[in-house]
Amino acid sequence: MQQKFHKTVAGLIQGGTKLRAGAALHATNMGLLVGAKSAVDSDLNGLTVATDAYRQGRDALRVCRRTLEVKLTEAYEVAHSIRDTLKRSLGRKYSVAWEGTGLRGSLKVPRSVAALEYVLRSFGNYLADHPALEVPTVATAAIAASAMAALTTANTAMTVRKGAVRNLLSARKKAAKTMHLRIRGVVEELKRVIGPVDGRWESFGLNQPGLKQAPPAPENVSVTLVEEDAAMADWDPSPRAEHYRVWVKVIGVDEEARPVGRPADCDFSMEDLPKNAEVEVAISAVNEGGESLRSAVVVLKTGSSET
């Protein structure tokens, strides 16, 4: 049976945890080097720490993003108030009188961080040069400077945090690759130490190479009523299947589906079904490697001519 190598970080951590359990049981007696518990522990701990750090970094980034959104809104409101205050002296439409305030071509207050920083800086300088136009608590050079500083601080924190998260993601990717290589290395080492059919493979969370891979679930199942209490089920062949298992559940009667047959072919006749009942039918495929998941359920209504 082929090994299933994990592609996700969560899968690698799960695989590493199982690998560690097998190493604790067998590594010393089997003389494993690549699969030694200390080696597995090191890689697994490295991945776990890197994953936790990345998760915490993303949480911190979300906090920074929310803070920046708040400061951006506050900065916009300050710039909006200062602009409306200056309208009393400079006019309600853009003109040369507005030159030097930071607004260009219109009285629209920008919403981007960089543009707002520029406008607030310009508003602050303009009000400092024209103190008679200041309105306490609403439009002053100090208010403009304070809003700009808060926005700049939040934006800088966001930029720094983004860089940190990129580094944490890179570290997690590196640790994940190391764990992936560790699992592959243990597989190759076990191939040299034990046979392809040996229960110790499963102690490491690995498939026994000598066993067949379980077949996939059957598809395109159909069930046709042939008599009031009899039906015929058929389905497409499932790769690697040696036989099939037919599952039946009478709705309102059975708590769980029950196996009623194990045909080798892709059809099965069901007799003595209860009349005027709804019956769920599903098929699973079986071989030495195990049993597949069950197929999609088909609901049969007895006493009618169709499923």
The pLDDT confidence band at residue 289, using thresholds 50, 70 and 90, is: confident
* Average pLDDT of the chain, as a whole number: 94
For 73, residues 6+ apart whose C-beta sits below 8 A from its C-beta are: none
The pLDDT confidence band at residue 258, using thresholds 50, 70 and 90, is: very high
Among 48-52, 135-139, 198-202, 225-229, the range scoring the smallest mean pLDDT is: 225-229
pLDDT over 60 (residue 245): yes
Question: Of all residues in the chain, what percent carry a pLDDT higher than 70?
Answer: 99
pLDDT tens digit string along 95-147? Answer: 999 999 999 999 999 999 999 999 999 999 999 999 999 999 999 999 999 99
pLDDT over 80 (residue 17): yes
Q: In the chain, what are the domain boundaries?
A: 1-210, 222-301
Q: What pLDDT sits at residue 87? A: 96
The pLDDT confidence band at residue 282, using thresholds 50, 70 and 90, is: very high
SS3 281: strand
DSSP letters of 223-280? EEEEETTEEEEE-PPPTT-SEEEEEEEETTT-SS-EEEE--SSSEEEE-SPPTT-EEE
CATH code for 222-301? Answer: 2.60.40.10
pTM for the structure as a whole = 0.69
Angle at 173 between CA 172 and CA 179, to 5 degrees: 90
